[in-house]
Chain A
Amino acid sequence: MTATAGTVERTSEPPHLRVGRRLRVLLGSREILLNLVRKELKVKYTASVLGAIWSLLNPLVYLGVFTFVTHVLGTGIPDFPVYLLSGLLAWNLFSAALTSGARSVLDNANLVKKVAFPHEILPLAAVGVALVDFVLQSAVLFLYVLAFHGLHWPELALWPLAFATLLVLTVALSLWFSAVNVRYRDVGHLLNIGLLVWFWVTPIVYASHQAQRLAEGGTGEWFGVPRFALYLLNPVTPIVEGFHRALYGVVRPAEQAAPVLFDVSLPWLAGVLALTLVASLVLLRFAWGVFFNRSADFAEEL
């Protein structure tokens, strides 16, 4: 089923993205997006008694288990549960949205072939579902930090910046992967392996300071380029470090946290994050263009 209003002309020309106009179309279709997210959540938790509580249990168990483990075994990182979760939740949003986003158009082939609607909604819904989990779990983490450590300015101001960057990057990559995956199904498998490597390249379970020290060791350069700068080219690294700084920095203010987090100033990190945000926005425009251009033929290719 389909709905459009006004005069529409359909030609053989492949469509070109006009961001403003397309945004208005998407805004007009927000009801579909909301309904699809609602549907996904509903299906995910259907026939389960606790429903969304399962999602909340996840970080709670993490907090409990790692508090216990660090007490008994000890790790190099003090307050490890907060360090781990602040980065892991962001990573979970990223990888869950990408994994299901890449599949979103394929999985909804029936919809795409039978119903006319802005196809961007499909990867956006995948991001939306991951976002709901992220928000719920972040609420748990926030409450935990607030209860045991209290919140701390100005580090906390990094959180919205890191969050915005994460969201833009996730949406951009989801759009691109979902569009390309329609034609080349390998992309989905490639993504799964890629995400595994990507996870370990990003400082989530190990101290980011460790990575910085390794990168800056020796000459600290590869072909004249500082290795640490190369390390920061992974856009998820500044994002995760932003979350670290915002939440874990609260627990361990900068001077104490030095051995764990990047040894950089707050403005420096904010600057890198802002650059990443700009790059992500450029990527988003590009990925959206690719998606929009291809989406006219989805119904045919599926």
Chain B
Amino acid sequence: MSPPAIEIDRVSKRFRIYREKPTSLKARLLTARSRAEDLWALRDVSFDVAEGSTLGLIGHNGSGKTTLLKCVAGILRPSSGTVTQRGRLAALLELGAGFHPELTGRENVYLNASFLGLSRRETDAAYEAIVDFAELEDFMDNQVKFYSSGMLVRLGFAVAVHVDPEVLLIDEVLAVGDEAYQAKCIERIRTFQREGRTIVLVTHALDTVREICDRAVMLHHGRLHALGPPDDVVREMRYVLLGQIDERFVPEEGTREAEIAEVRIVRANGRSEGPVLRDDPLEIVVDVRANERVDDLDADFEILDGATNHPVLDARASRAGVGIEPFEGRKRVRFRIERFPYNPGKYWVTIGLSSRRTGHLYHVQTQRYLFEVIDVPRVQERVAVPVTIEVEDA
């Protein structure tokens, strides 16, 4: 087993924020002590990135993602801790960084490639492929000051992915560019993954993280908040977000006389993963474990539209007249949804176990489970639609 491509060991980064930074000798001489405040952008962050893996780095604005990436790239020096990095590294911290507006696209490719460690001859060899990937054949002799931001992004990304890096750091640069180009970039990242390269991706696009990353790390106020499979970390991120909107939000609560042991969302094809077709039936299977005798268990679910956070569907056993006998040990509750007619998109599922009589909460998992609804494209049939035609003098 090869050593990790990146080891981050108890890394902290402190920035000194000066109310008024003494940038002149006079100011330096007059104010003996400068009024500085410490801002810890990173606090004791440790994790490894295995060679050949793809890590998604998420967190809110100001959570320290970019600072961490800059420490790995060697642009910033950690205030304490160690970053060990193995292999040729290419970092795309901002597209167009290292581009000079007065130079042509061609000259900028060479300038940029040299920052990434390519010799002139190596750049010559990769040049055609770079231009081809950027889809900018007709603009290479124009100064880049005439480029649109999308064109700059394409050129920057094209150069970065052609320098043959073993470790690629990407900071929120895929968000620019049209959808077709984004898809192309993702495809390119997948090729990198197949080739066994290590990738660290900073992004706000949580779907991208779930789609292409092996693991994810969430930073929160400079600290490592969550680390693990992308789905779990993305969910954690959502919890923090929900907690910010609603202070009373708790992802999980209850006294646990009865517990939610497992939840599966079973699609029409019998599988519990993959997209749900609109209008298809859906089954939510909840395995309950009663740790002591529970006399009056009630189970319910609620589905929220991920786009608007509005509840769209819910059901409760007691309301439907389904009583659960007193029991100890395991029981399984199936909520059969005959068809799910809502718009394509993401839906979050909350599961609750409570007391039928008192309403006391045994176990609630709020917006813990996720499924995605897609629409099958279908040919539009001709239907009779009345059309009236009027003619008037104008």
Interface residues in chain A, defined as those with a beta carbon under 8 Å from any beta carbon in chain B:
1-12, 14, 28-29, 31-32, 34-36, 38-39, 42-43, 46, 110-117, 183-187, 296-297, 299-300
User: What are 6 A-to-B residue pairs whose CB atoms are below 8 Å?
Assistant: A6-B87, A7-B84, A8-B74, A35-B114, A111-B97, A184-B24
B111 at the interface (CB under 8 A from A): yes
B84, B98, B169 — which one has the most chain A CB atoms within 10 A of its CB? B98
Query: Would A5 and B77 count as touching, CB distance under 8 A?
Result: no
B202 at the interface (CB under 8 A from A): no
- The CA of A26 and the CA of B115, in the complex, are separated in Å by 12
The distance from the CB of B133 to the nearest CB of chain A, in whole angstroms, is 16
Query: Would A2 and B89 count as touching, CB distance under 8 A?
Result: yes
Query: Would A3 and B117 count as touching, CB distance under 8 A?
Result: yes
Query: Would A3 and B88 count as touching, CB distance under 8 A?
Result: yes
The distance from the CB of A178 to the nearest CB of chain B, in whole angstroms, is 15
Using A42-B107, A115-B98, A185-B24 as known contacts, say yes or no to A7 and B117 having CB atoms under 8 A apart.
Answer: no
Query: Would A43 and B100 count as touching, CB distance under 8 A?
Result: yes
The distance from the CB of A45 to the nearest CB of chain B, in whole angstroms, is 10
**B116 to chain A: which residues have CB within 8 Å?**
1-3
Query: Would A1 and B87 count as touching, CB distance under 8 A?
Result: no
Query: Would A299 and B110 count as touching, CB distance under 8 A?
Result: no
Query: Would B89 and A111 count as touching, CB distance under 8 A?
Result: no
**A299 to chain B: which residues have CB within 8 Å?**
70, 75-76
Query: Would A296 and B77 count as touching, CB distance under 8 A?
Result: yes
Using A114-B97, A115-B93 as known contacts, say yes or no to A2 and B114 having CB atoms under 8 A apart.
Answer: no
**B119 to chain A: which residues have CB within 8 Å?**
31
Residue among B70, B86, B107 making CB contact with A7, cutoff 8 Å: B86
Interface of B, helix, strand, loop or mixed by DSSP: mixed
Q: 6 nearest interchain CB pairs? A: A3-B117, A114-B97, A31-B114, A2-B91, A3-B116, A116-B74
B118 at the interface (CB under 8 A from A): yes
- The CA of A38 and the CA of B80, in the complex, are separated in Å by 39
Contacting residues of chain B (219-251) with chain A, CB-CB under 8 angstroms: none
A9, A10, A42, A116 — which one has the most chain B CB atoms within 10 A of its CB? A10
Number of interface residues of B (CB under 8 A): 53
Interface residues in chain B, defined as those with a beta carbon under 8 Å from any beta carbon in chain A:
15, 23-26, 28, 70-94, 97-98, 100, 102-103, 107, 110-112, 114-120, 156, 159-160, 163, 165, 169
- The CA of A160 and the CA of B358, in the complex, are separated in Å by 97
Other A-B contacts than A2-B73, A6-B86, 13 sampled, CB-CB below 8 A, are: A1-B115, A5-B88, A11-B77, A32-B114, A42-B103, A42-B107, A43-B103, A110-B97, A114-B75, A114-B94, A116-B73, A299-B75, A300-B77
Q: Which residue of B lies closest to A36 (CB)?
A: B111
**A297 to chain B: which residues have CB within 8 Å?**
77
- The CA of A11 and the CA of B7, in the complex, are separated in Å by 12
Using A7-B86, A114-B98 as known contacts, say yes or no to A1 and B75 having CB atoms under 8 A apart.
Answer: no
Query: Would B91 and A1 count as touching, CB distance under 8 A?
Result: yes
Q: Which residue of A lies closest to B83 (CB)?
A: A10
**A11 to chain B: which residues have CB within 8 Å?**
77-78, 81-83
**B84 to chain A: which residues have CB within 8 Å?**
7-10
**B159 to chain A: which residues have CB within 8 Å?**
1
Query: Would A10 and B71 count as touching, CB distance under 8 A?
Result: yes
- The CA of A14 and the CA of B80, in the complex, are separated in Å by 11
- The CA of A7 and the CA of B114, in the complex, are separated in Å by 20
**A184 to chain B: which residues have CB within 8 Å?**
23-25, 28
**B15 to chain A: which residues have CB within 8 Å?**
300
Q: Which residue of A lies closest to B143 (CB)?
A: A46
**B82 to chain A: which residues have CB within 8 Å?**
9-11
- The CA of A4 and the CA of B160, in the complex, are separated in Å by 13
- The CA of A41 and the CA of B321, in the complex, are separated in Å by 83
- The CA of A12 and the CA of B97, in the complex, are separated in Å by 26
**A3 to chain B: which residues have CB within 8 Å?**
88-90, 115-118, 163, 165
Query: Would B75 and A46 count as touching, CB distance under 8 A?
Result: no
Query: Would B77 and A186 count as touching, CB distance under 8 A?
Result: no
Query: Would B117 and A5 count as touching, CB distance under 8 A?
Result: yes
Q: Which residue of B lies closest to A2 (CB)?
A: B91
**A38 to chain B: which residues have CB within 8 Å?**
107
**A187 to chain B: which residues have CB within 8 Å?**
25
B71, B103, B119 — which one has the most chain A CB atoms within 10 A of its CB? B103
Using A1-B97, A111-B98, A114-B75 as known contacts, say yes or no to A185 and B115 having CB atoms under 8 A apart.
Answer: no
Using A31-B118, A42-B102 as known contacts, say yes or no to A116 and B91 having CB atoms under 8 A apart.
Answer: yes
Using A12-B80, A43-B103 as known contacts, say yes or no to A4 and B89 having CB atoms under 8 A apart.
Answer: yes
